[in-house]
Structure 1
């Protein structure tokens, strides 16, 4: 008589899944139930509204796998979701994750989840649940993917949507930590495939290995948003600079009767972008619509708010530049050299 087959024989280990949940419970005792509970406080809000966002980290995962370093990829996941919530003026409330793999590697899973927990700590948005899935046959051996889900709250009466932006307003850019989590298919194609480098290659102009530069975690702008609220700065529009770059994200908050003129010489482009452009070679317009080029978050406000915005950025530990202005137009973003 043939030996009885188990679920683990088919590639799914309930025991390993339980180990992951037990690990998470050491960090948050509420994790592990069928759902997560969160107390909702709406005092002082005229029109409380929940705000939702979901995202992933794309092929940056492949760089982490090649470098055998998944310690920061979880921070990226939290950042991509939370920064999108901040754009409308929302305060992040909580975070959920989805981790899917061919076969669960406990060491790798813990490393990823430690990063997610660290990101949630930075974002001040607790992880209250999620899903860890072993999917043999759906993912190739050794592969995994991540998705994150965040919920925030905003007073609908004070939500930031860009509709009050007018000619004469100023555009402020807050520096990124590097590539963040977009454009990695192009970055990998240029640096690893065409230039023949590896994640272990020491690059003088980056002052680090290529892997370390590519895996710098995405900046989370929660402290910046809180500092801006505390400063009482009136921000008319925010933009999280992700896929599509500055032109493809700042335009999403512009009214149809204005343009944003962004002067690319008002901040220093980080070396990693210059290297990708040179080694590709990649034309500048292609760089601009693929990467953040050193600016990870943007704000539009009246000139009278400049002092408050700069002080708030300093208080939050962010570097800000006055990068442009709003003029009459048709809802486009023009990136130019000043003068």
Structure 2
């Protein structure tokens, strides 16, 4: 039976080997509350009802997107898992919830255990950074759907908060100050436009050394993992210092900041408050893209925005700097 299945393109034995290679990476993420080990039919996690006595579960799911195409081209597989985790847990923390556990979905054309282990190592690193545990996942070998070298990565996470602590737009007030947390680069958004500008409209190669990017290899800059903000923001949530959080993803400022605001409020951004990273300036120059469109697509150097009461800004900035962040006051909230 297995020989027939292998002839059809699915290698069961390679799948077993991949699971064994994953286990050491998954073990890094273990935390109190886990009730199951890798390989069960479902991931189990016990909610601490002493911490969450009015619990609300907050879930999120996302993928890495076409950034994966660049990872495949460079055969660099151990960072994109961080992106998969980051895109989900940053959304969860934006609701005021602490990420608890994560499950991944990996679809491959051919089951390559070493490559899968590299991908999962990145997922595990992302979970360590976020303080959440991998409780399960799925690796699907899908010949004919993907080529032997192609794959897709997505993830799902659950977090928790006490009901009274969930961040809703109604918490944000007129006069709140907007504090920006710096991004690590492109994160995992806008790569269809990035690829069009650099590789379809122009003949750049991933191995090119780019003077405008501090003489770094282009592919390395593009594959810089998405920053995870969980550990920086949790102390602020625990002290009830945050009125609202916006995770700046696809759609940039104009789409994401309004999501944390009530209908009667709008916002102002001082775009001179921080230095836009070189990768965004480079893309704008090469692609001849108007600055307003750049801000509508990319994070432009600010990956998360916090709404804070004016009299608590100093305390928030101090706590963030203690977490090795470089927070910047970038604007305010006012009546529309």
Which TM-score tier does this pair reach, normalised by the shorter chain? Answer: over 0.9
Q: Where does 1:112-131 land on structure 2 (aligned, <5 Å)?
A: 112-131=119-138
Q: Which of 67, 78, 92 is the matching residue for 1:71?
A: 78
**Unaligned regions of 5+ residues in structure 1, if any?**
330-339
The equivalent residue for 1:147 is 154
CA distance in 1, matches of 2:75, 2:2: 36
Does the CA-based 8 Å contact 1:235-1:299 persist in structure 2? yes
Q: Where does 1:293-312 land on structure 2 (aligned, <5 Å)?
A: 293-312=300-319
Does the CA-based 8 Å contact 1:100-1:134 persist in structure 2? yes
SS at match of 1:198: coil
Q: Where does 1:9-88 land on structure 2 (aligned, <5 Å)?
A: 9-26=7-24, 27-28=26-27, 30-88=37-95
Q: Where does 1:148-187 land on structure 2 (aligned, <5 Å)?
A: 148-187=155-194
The equivalent residue for 2:217 is 209
Cα deviation for residue 42 of structure 1 reads 1.9
The equivalent residue for 2:232 is 224
CA distance in 2, matches of 1:154, 1:5: 49
The equivalent residue for 2:296 is 289
CA distance in 1, matches of 2:54, 2:166: 10
Cα deviation for residue 291 of structure 1 reads 0.3
Does the CA-based 8 Å contact 1:233-1:308 persist in structure 2? no
CA distance in 1, matches of 2:150, 2:165: 43
Does the CA-based 8 Å contact 1:162-1:255 persist in structure 2? yes
**Unaligned regions of 5+ residues in structure 2, if any?**
28-35
CA distance in 2, matches of 1:214, 1:192: 12
The superposition leaves residues 196-241 of structure 1 with CA deviations (integer Å, 9 ceiling, x where unpaired) of 11110001121210011001110001111123135x2521100110
CA distance in 1, matches of 2:50, 2:232: 23
TM-score norm. by structure 2 comes to 0.94
Does the CA-based 8 Å contact 2:110-2:147 persist in structure 1? no
Cα deviation for residue 44 of structure 1 reads 4.6
Bigger mean CA deviation after superposition, 147-156 or 17-26: 17-26
- Relative to structure 1, is the Cα distance of residues 15 and 263 closer, same or farther in structure 2, using a 3 angstrom cutoff? same
Q: Which of 101, 104, 109 is the matching residue for 2:108?
A: 101
Does the CA-based 8 Å contact 1:241-1:297 persist in structure 2? yes
CA distance in 1, matches of 2:296, 2:2: 55
TM-score norm. by structure 1 comes to 0.93
Does the CA-based 8 Å contact 1:233-1:309 persist in structure 2? no
SS at match of 1:197: coil
1:237 and 2:235 aligned: no
